[in-house]
């Protein structure tokens, strides 16, 4: 048996998330379907670095593939991409140590969320359009309260696969780019729906309907409020999964550019 590391990008709009589910179309399920044809019924394992929710996208999800094969990594990549739909793409395949595990060996993950301040004809599947005015400074200041180790039980649904609701948030960056607000969150791992609920709370602070005091309360007590504010999946992207001595890039850019409209004056 050989083990390979897969770097995968996908648009999540048509999928019920990464993880295989009965009677639902998922990214992992589609990869398994094609792998069974490539490796002709041999025993397989395809395991991702973590789940993404239904409708969430990935710029670079990482998975490991274990299969009995003599195929070179580049041939495996080409065979997958020949059969994958246009919204899933294998960026790269590399052969790795048989002990490598996509999830257990991951050191941290980063997500990017995109908020648009205007309606867009091109970016709807990739942003959350918010009509209300948002106070960027209040959102940015409040976001720093997430940094560090906190209990995110208020920000996640009950999940039997998770042993703890404590998560270490290493860094949060917020930027304005044209009519976009970009939020990047880097953490040790993330709970089910956690990032989208963090975004939802920050947006309510930007609207002036919540305060930093409310956010502190959600981090210290069990509250149903963040669940009611869950941001839509369309604006969320798994940006990168970090292993070993790798480091996150300091800068990040919008996935789709939405510029501020200025009418020409003559």
Q: Point out the residues that are catalytic.
A: 53
Number of C-beta neighbours around residue 93 at 10 A? 23
| CB 227, CB 200: distance < 8 Å | no
52: left (phi over 0), alpha (psi -120 to 50) or beta: beta
Helices (H) and strands (E) in the chain, counts: 6, 10
Contact of 55 with 87, CB cutoff 8 Å: no
For residue 208, which of 138, 150, 257 has the smallest C-alpha distance?
Answer: 138
Residue 230 CB contacts under 8 Å (≥ 6 apart), including other chains:
193, 196, 197, 200
| Backbone dihedral angles phi then psi of residue 32, each to the nearest 5 degrees | -60, -45
Query: Helices (DSSP H) in the chain: which residue ranges?
Result: 27-38, 73-83, 136-143, 194-207, 212-220, 225-228
Do strands 236-243 and 57-67 pair parallel, antiparallel, or not at all (unpaired)? Answer: parallel
């Amino acid at each position: 048996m050989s083990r390979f590391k897969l770097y995968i990008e996908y648009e999540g709009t048509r999928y019920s998330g990464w993880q295989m589910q009965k009677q639902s179309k998922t990214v992992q399920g589609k990869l398994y379907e094609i792998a069974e044809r490539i490796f002709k019924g041999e025993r397989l394992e395809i395991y991702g670095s973590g789940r993404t929710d239904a409708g969430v996208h990935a710029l670079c999800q990482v998975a490991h593939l274990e299969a009995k094969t003599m195929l070179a990594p580049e041939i495996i990549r080409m065979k997958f991409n020949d059969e994958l739909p246009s919204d899933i793409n294998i960026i790269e395949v590399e052969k790795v140590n048989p002990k490598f595990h996509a999830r257990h060996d991951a050191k941290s993950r980063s997500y990017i969320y995109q908020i648009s301040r205007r309606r867009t004809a091109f970016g709807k599947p990739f942003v959350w359009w918010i009509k209300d005015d948002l106070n960027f400074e209040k959102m940015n200041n409040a976001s720093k309260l997430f940094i560090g180790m906190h209990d995110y039980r208020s920000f996640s649904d009950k999940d039997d696969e998770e042993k703890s609701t404590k998560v270490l948030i290493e860094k949060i960056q917020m930027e304005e780019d044209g009519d976009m607000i970009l939020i990047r969150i880097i953490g040790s791992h993330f709970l089910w729906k956690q990032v989208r609920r963090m975004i939802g709370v920050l947006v309510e602070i930007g609207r002036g309907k919540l305060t930093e005091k409310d956010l502190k309360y959600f981090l210290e007590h069990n509250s149903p409020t963040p669940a009611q504010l869950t941001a839509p999946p369309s604006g969320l992207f798994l940006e990168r999964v970090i292993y070993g001595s790798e480091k996150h890039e300091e800068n990040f850019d919008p996935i789709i550019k939405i510029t501020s409209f200025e009418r020409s004056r003559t």
